[in-house]
Amino acid sequence: MKKIVTALLIFTMVLSLAACGKSKDSDDMQYIKDKGTLTVGITEFEPMDYRDGEDWVGFDADMAKAFAEYLGVDVEFVEIDWDNKIMELDNKSIDCVWNGMTLTDEVTSSMECSNAYCNNAQVVIVPADIADQYQDTDSLSGLRFAVEAGSAGEAEVEALGLEYTSVKDQATALMEVESETSDAAVIDSLMAAAMVGEGTGYEDLTYTVGLNSEEYGVGFRKGSNLAEALNKFFSQSYSDGSMMECAEKYGVQAAVIEQ
């Protein structure tokens, strides 16, 4: 009899734990609403997330603000170490990663991701006066690269067997090339278009070789119902034109994926 009772108790505990786990996932939106804030993990990444005085602006930042309003909560932006983004999500330091995040296998297996919303590529950044020497992947051998730790750019140079140093973020990677601490960098094409070349802060740099093609998505905790809510918001904002209006403000309209 004792064995039967013990077995029933264990079975009840297992069911209880399973129910708690399911509730935790399905109630992620309620968790956000209860605390009244959507906490967004970002890095300095123009034109997606960057500072204008004390405020965070950019295509991703503005869309995150609009999504928070759609949910009826405030928004808070937190700079994160990109290499620790999954851990930051899981321990609830942040509620989502919304920062031009490439939908890699690692990301999609570790996070509940939105539909893709922007096309992108990883591109090589070099000083403009020597750009003609680096027009294909074979020519890149021997260069010392700076790449953001944990980024798609880091994965590309690693796959090519190139020498590289991991840095805090893509903005730092650009500064490494500008200061000649590194010979080259690999960053997102959308960032390159906004920050490199004539009329930018890095007029003496340019981008040459495209290493891949990829798509951006927003990541939430695994099992979160916020991803589905964001997909609905994306569809609505694409249909009413507000997504494209925001994209045009930051010059990324050509990269936006129809929702």
pLDDT at 81: 93
For residue 135, how many other CB atoms are within 10 A of its CB? 12
Cβ burial 113-122 (10 Å sphere, 16+ → b, else e): bbbbbbbbbb
CA atoms within 13 A on the CB side of 14: 6
| Predicted structure pTM score | 0.83
Q: Is the pLDDT reported for residue 46 higher than 60?
A: yes
Residue ranges covered by each domain of the chain: 25-118+215-255, 122-212
Ramachandran angles phi, psi of 75, nearest 5°: -125, 145
14 band by pLDDT with thresholds 50, 70 and 90? very low
Q: What is the tens place of the pLDDT at every residue in 208-225? A: 999 999 999 999 999 999
Mean per-residue pLDDT over the chain, rounded? 91
Is 25-118+215-255 CATH 3.40.190.10?
Answer: yes
Q: Is the pLDDT reported for residue 241 higher than 70?
A: yes
Q: Is the pLDDT reported for residue 6 higher than 80?
A: no
Separation of alpha carbons 170 and 241, rounded Å: 30
Domain 122-212 architecture: 3-Layer(aba) Sandwich (3.40)
pLDDT at 26: 55
63 band by pLDDT with thresholds 50, 70 and 90? very high
pLDDT at 33: 95
Two domains, one topology: 25-118+215-255 and 122-212: yes
Separation of alpha carbons 86 and 221, rounded Å: 8
Q: What is the tens place of the pLDDT at every residue in 72-95? A: 999 999 999 999 999 999 999 999
Tell me what the mean pLDDT of segment 144-154 comes to. 96
Which strand (E) or helix (H) includes residue 205?
strand 205-210
pLDDT at 27: 86
